[in-house]
Amino acid sequence: MFSRILSGDIPGEIVHETDRLFVIRDIAPKAPVHLLVIPKTEQYANVVELAAEDPALLAEMVAVAGDLAGGDFRLIFNTGEGAGQTVFHVHAHVLAGGLSEGSLGD
C-alpha cells in the first residue's frame, strides 16, 4: 500500500522525502501530529528485520522523525499482528503535540 502512495496510485500527502524514505500524514491521526515515516523499499516487514539488515536506514528514520516532530515526540513501531501491525511494510508512527504521561496517543 505505501509503495502505491509513493507512486501516486493511491492518494496520500507526502510531507517529506529523501532518497531512501518518505513521510506521510496518518489518515486516522491519534495525536495533533501523527506522521508515518516509511522506507521506500518493501524489503523489511518490521523494525526487527530492518534493524538487523539496515541499521543505517533505521537511524535515518529516527533522525527524520525527530526533525519533523517539532519538539517532544513518541515513536512507535508496531511489530506483528498481535501488536497491531496491519501493513507489513516497516513504518514508524511519529506522535507529537499535546501527549500526556501514560498516553498511548489513541
User: pLDDT tens, 50-103?
Assistant: 999 999 999 999 999 999 998 999 999 999 999 999 999 999 999 999 776 665
Residue positions annotated with a catalytic role: 91
Q: What is the CATH code for 2-96?
A: 3.30.428.10
Please report, for the chain, the start and end positions of each structural domain, with discontinuous segments joined by +: 2-96
Q: Distances from the Cα of 83 to the Cαs of 19, 37, 59, 69, 76, in angstroms?
A: 29, 18, 22, 23, 11
CA atoms within 13 A on the CB side of 101: 0
State yes or no: pLDDT of 105 exceeds 60.
Answer: no
pLDDT bucket at 19, cuts 50 / 70 / 90: very high
Q: Which of 33, 13, 31 is nearest to 23 (CA)?
A: 13
63/11 Cα distance (integer angstroms):
25
Q: What are the tens digits of pLDDT across the range 55-70?
A: 999 999 999 999 999 8
Q: What is the mean pLDDT of the chain?
A: 90
